[in-house]
Structure 1
């Protein structure tokens, strides 16, 4: 999902940085001190998951976990993803510094939008929660792939075939992310629903 350095046009890079900066600012403002450990853990999970990637033209295919990050962190997914991408760029020259804004914007905003859309159904429990969690994980990667492809297409017509290939290549990843998100959401809903911003179950409330 990362785009490499030197691929995108200047206006696309500027727009990406503008969206990323706004998201990071809001995310830091909304980040609760109690979330710092959770945010650090999820940023590390994102860091590791996206290091295992398959190069594909000017981009690559890998697990993203952006829907899950947004479900737990909300707007704080922006700074968490930004820090992970920054460390990858500095330590492994993966992605790059100039492209950091676009990569952050596409992945974090996609996760946030899908979480906001799925949030009412996540609170319902049962099959509704499972379907919502799958759609959130599946959709977050899909929307990020669409945004990434759009960035490539906006840079020039020569990149349109690569953008379409990148989008198609993420279909298997979307299915995997959907399944992983369901498993994690269902587990957290039983043991720590507050992490998903869900009401406490009677059992969990008794333990609290």
Structure 2
């Protein structure tokens, strides 16, 4: 949902190097974890579907305050897990940058933003489910929390980096970016509710896809025999 819609050369070189190195470090850690621990077969299919859906809706940009849109990273994180969710964020940003949606030099920064959304959403969802929340409020709240964290991180990256050629003092830039973050927080709630409906539907028809099969079995009443 959050994305840095700035052109090439908008960030100073030191910032591009910093965010690229941090993003590369995150992806390297994710790849190491995947190779060491492996992934479940159904997660591979979910990752492919999630990447396609995220990329498709990601291209529907509303040209308001630099551009806002949905990208379903919260849903991707809940379904595919934090590791594949981070890899999907990388893939979606690479293909989006190739189409001119976001600067190539900002792939590292944008991957950090979108990967954080998937990771936070996944762990928030698991935590709320363990607290016996129902599927819809758990997934909606988790997705909203994940997307909100991404929006805040996006704002922090822009303010810390600064924007080349901008006549705004740092304080004014912070205020402008704060408005953009606030707008994205509102969209996060909308996307969170949409994610809640999707996860609730999947939990009803295929609870195994969201690791709720055991919970559903526990909730089903046991049969009574004479």
TM score, norm. by length of structure 1: 0.85
Unaligned runs of 5+ in 2: 163-169, 219-226
Q: Tell me which of 152, 173, 194 is aligned to 1:180.
A: 194
C-alpha separation in 2, matches of 1:20 and 1:194: 31
Is 1:164 aligned with 2:165?
no
Is 1:81 aligned with 2:123?
no
CA 1:96 to 1:55, structure 2 compared with 1: closer, same or farther past 3 Å?
Answer: same
Is 1:136 aligned with 2:147?
no
Unaligned runs of 5+ in 1: 204-208
Question: What displacement does 1:60 show?
Answer: 2.1
Give the aligned partner of residue 106 of structure 1.
113
- Please state whether the residue corresponding to 2:67 is helix, strand or coil: strand
C-alpha separation in 1, matches of 2:29 and 2:17: 19
Are the equivalent residues in 2 in contact too, given 1:86–1:100 (CA < 8 A)? yes
- TM superposition outliers: structure 1 runs of 4+ over 6 Å: none
Give the aligned partner of residue 206 of structure 1.
none
Is 1:202 aligned with 2:217?
yes
What's the CA shift string for 1:96-129, capped at 9, x where partnerless? 211001001111113202321231223566x533
Alignment of 1:1-208 (within 5 A): 1-3=2-4, 4-5=6-7, 6-28=9-31, 29-30=33-34, 32=39, 34=41, 35-56=43-64, 59-74=66-81, 75-90=83-98, 92-123=99-130, 128-156=134-162, 157=170, 159-200=173-214, 201-202=216-217
Are the equivalent residues in 2 in contact too, given 1:69–1:77 (CA < 8 A)? yes
C-alpha separation in 2, matches of 1:177 and 1:196: 18
The RMSD of aligned alpha carbons is 2.4
TM score, norm. by length of structure 2: 0.78
Question: What displacement does 1:162 show?
Answer: 2.6
Query: For this pair of structures, how many residues does the alignment match?
Result: 201
Question: What displacement does 1:183 show?
Answer: 0.5
C-alpha separation in 2, matches of 1:9 and 1:23: 21
C-alpha separation in 2, matches of 1:10 and 1:198: 46
C-alpha separation in 1, matches of 2:23 and 2:209: 24
Give the aligned partner of residue 167 of structure 2.
none
Question: What displacement does 1:39 show?
Answer: 0.9
C-alpha separation in 1, matches of 2:143 and 2:192: 4
